[in-house]
A and B are shown apart, each in its own frame.
Chain A
Amino acid sequence: MTSPLPSASPPPTQPSPPAPSAPAHEHALAYAEDDLGETPAAGFSQQPSPDGRAVVVEGTCPRCHGHTVTRFPLGLPGTGTKGLFDVLTGRGAAAADEDPLAGEVHFCECGHAHPQLPADAVFVGCGASWRIKP
């Protein structure tokens, strides 16, 4: 089933302008799967993709300071079993209305092959992950 971007999806947000003294991208930083915990929302934004089939979250990686862009596509997670009763009662509502900026764990996707980047890494970046403070 195709549907447009969820009506309740978060509106596009504009990133805060980088501070004049923003650190440069540390290309030499070795890959490490570090969980950085919660990160301030400043510097991150989300907006629908041009085709309306995804939500794009952009910002600056708090570890390597590279510009990271993550695309969250809309899609079927699998074979659901929601029936008419669930639809009528609103139980088991889909997560289409969720806010990926605040509800997801984000991974560095600066696109730079940091040293020691595993060959099969799904997220090409420095390996850091973080949540954004609501």
Chain B
Amino acid sequence: MSARSDRRWAELARELEFTRLPELRRQAEGWRNGLAGLTALLAVLGLLKGRDSLDDLPAWARTTATGLLVSAFLLLLAGSLLAVRAAHGVPGPEIVLGGQALRRWTEAEATRVTRALARAAVCCGLGLLLVVGALALAWSATEPAAKHLVRLRTVTGEVCGELLSADPQRIVVRGTDGGADGGADGGAAGTAVPQASLVSMEPVASCPGG
């Protein structure tokens, strides 16, 4: 270390005594902005979006997607905090403000900032990957909208399928395979069951062969 450099470090350390309060206020301002951004993000995610988009998933996919989203959220949160910390620092212990002490502190601090930035990038990248994974899972595993399946018991037998219409004369259902379900007039138009022959009707979760 040259004598010129030593003198410059000592002069910088001498100046620090007079910039303490502005430095603390600048630091607090940075943290305020960072935390306000995080709070807004959480509010949007938690209050506006909710959990409705996962309701159409089967149980295993819902559990997996929830795990992915929670992990992604934690990683993004950690990444954001690390980035704020790298940008604005945190109040640390005081040091003896001498030129050489300041030089050593600055060298160590540069290493810490570099490390925090790298960790922030890794956390945010992984978080985004997990979000993309959860979205892909949701798209691929979402079940079609639930059909209104019913089972009709008639004097001649049973008919199971999607309820299409009902009126005082008849009830029309369509087989879960989209085709005829035993009725003579089945197919895309469905099977018409006369009300006079109806014994009972009940909703079911699925139909045989459906």
Contacts and interface: CB of A to CB of B under 8 A. Distances in A.
A122 interface: yes
B90 A82 contact: yes
Contacts of B9: 105
Contact of B6 (A72, A95, A105): A105
State the main secondary structure of chain B at its contact with A.
helix
B17 to A, nearest CB: 5
Nearest to A83: B85
From DSSP, what is the main secondary structure of chain A's interface residues? loop
A123 B10 contact: yes
A55 B112 contact: no
A20 to B, nearest CB: 32
Contact of A129 (B7, B98, B106): B7
Interface string B1-26: 00110110111011011001001101
A74 B105 CA distance: 13
A2 B92 CA distance: 10
A107 to B, nearest CB: 6
A3 B93 contact: yes
A28 interface: no
B92 to A, nearest CB: 3
A29 interface: no
B7 A94 contact: no
Closest 5 CB pairs of A and B: A79-B89, A80-B92, A35-B3, A95-B101, A104-B98
B94 interface: yes
A100 B91 CA distance: 22
Interface residues of A, number: 34
A81 B112 contact: yes
Interface of A: 1-3, 6, 9, 33, 35, 55, 72-83, 86, 92, 94-96, 98, 100, 103-105, 107, 122-123, 129
B112 A77 contact: no
B99 interface: yes
B119 to A, nearest CB: 10
B6 to A, nearest CB: 4
Contact of B105 (A6, A33, A77, A123): A77
B86 interface: yes
A33 B96 CA distance: 24
Given A33-B7, A75-B20, A123-B10, A80 B96 contact: no
Contacts of A123: 10, 14
Contact of B95 (A74, A83, A122): A74
13 contacts: A35-B6, A74-B94, A74-B97, A77-B106, A77-B109, A79-B23, A79-B27, A82-B112, A83-B116, A100-B96, A105-B100, A123-B10, A129-B6
Nearest to A35: B3
Contacts of B104: 95, 98
Contacts of B99: 104-105
A72 B96 contact: yes
B155 interface: no
Interface in B103-120: 104-106, 108-109, 111-113, 116
